[in-house]
Structure 1
Amino acid sequence: MKNLVLSLFTTLLFVSCQEKKAETFDVNLLNGYWEIEHVTMADGSQKDYKMSETIDYFEVKQDSGFRKKVNPQVDGTYLVNDSEEKIKIEKSREGTYISYKTEFATWNEKIKTLTKEQLVLENEQHIQYQYKKPTSFTVK
């Protein structure tokens, strides 16, 4: 009986001490247009976005690329300017991160969820941004 308890304890200790592998994502799913749905603050409060004037456009090739803010137009096109943020995808034991760089600042966001239809990013202040693929609209 004593050996059984010792074996169980040793097994439990071994399993609990194993390193967790960070979730990896197919970063190619990041490419394209993303519309903000809501933001969850660190305290759990949430701000919903019924409609946003800007949409984020990501383009990533071989773990680097850019993000642009674009403005949807009523004819279904996007108004684009030359401003963009350079990005790098960085993978570590803690997770997959997007590192942003402009001439004014640098920052990181952790990818919490990335599917064909949903993107959730978390910044260093533990604020989460949930995005969805935008639906096109036109006024005729």
Structure 2
Amino acid sequence: MKNTLSILFLSFLLVSCQQTIKPEDISKINGYWEIQKVVFDDGEDKDYAINESYDYFEIGANRVGFRKKVKPQLDGTFLVNNTYENARVRFKDGKVFIEYATPYARWTEELVAISDKELVFRNAEKKEYHYKKAESINILGDGKKTE
């Protein structure tokens, strides 16, 4: 009996800790994000200490937008190319999904957590991608303010 109650309590605790993402939270995705780590389905982590590229998201009020890779430069700017992935946000059964499309592929990731400083996605292989909000780099000391 004690084991059953313990299992029920732990199950309730895990379910109640999951973040509820609301439509108004989607605007927090917009901007530059730096990957911190990937958590595999077996619980193993892969940390990313240095990143040569960031992900830039731009999702409009209609929940449609894009994601593209950008490279931070030493003067605080970002090097950008014309490659991007179309992105669409979809709410279903209390969960939030980002559907990506390029001319070559389509895939979906679940948005697990979002805040002003953290972003977590889970893909179909149960890998979780943990991002932190990226800040521009300016190590040249030229006195210019970066955007």
**TM score, norm. by length of structure 2:** 0.78
**What residue number does 1:99 align with?**
99
**What residue number does 1:139 align with?**
139
Q: Distance in 2 between matches of 1:124 and 1:87?
A: 16
Residues 41 and 128 in structure 1, CA contact (< 8 A), matched pair in contact too: yes
- Consecutive unaligned residues of structure 1, counting only runs of 5 or more, are 1-15
Summarize the alignment of residues 31-42 of structure 1 with structure 2, pairs less than 5 Å apart.
Answer: 31-42=30-41
Residues 69 and 84 in structure 1, CA contact (< 8 A), matched pair in contact too: yes
Residue by residue over 1:80-129, the C-alpha shift from the partner in whole angstroms, topping out at 9 and shown as x without a partner, is 00000000000000500000000111001101100000000000110000
Which amino acid is the alignment partner of residue 116 of structure 1?
D
**What residue number does 1:55 align with?**
54
Which amino acid is the alignment partner of residue 24 of structure 1?
I
**What residue number does 1:29 align with?**
28
* Count of residues in Structure 1 that have an aligned counterpart in Structure 2: 121
Secondary structure of the structure 2 residue equivalent to 1:71: strand
Which amino acid is the alignment partner of residue 50 of structure 1?
A
**What residue number does 1:3 align with?**
none
Q: Distance in 2 between matches of 1:34 and 1:118?
A: 9
**TM score, norm. by length of structure 1:** 0.82
Deviation at 1:36, TM superposition (A): 0.2
Identical positions, percent? 39
Q: Distance in 2 between matches of 1:52 and 1:82?
A: 20
**Runs (4+) off by over 6 Å:** none
- Consecutive unaligned residues of structure 2, counting only runs of 5 or more, are 1-11, 141-147
Deviation at 1:69, TM superposition (A): 0.3
Deviation at 1:51, TM superposition (A): 1.1
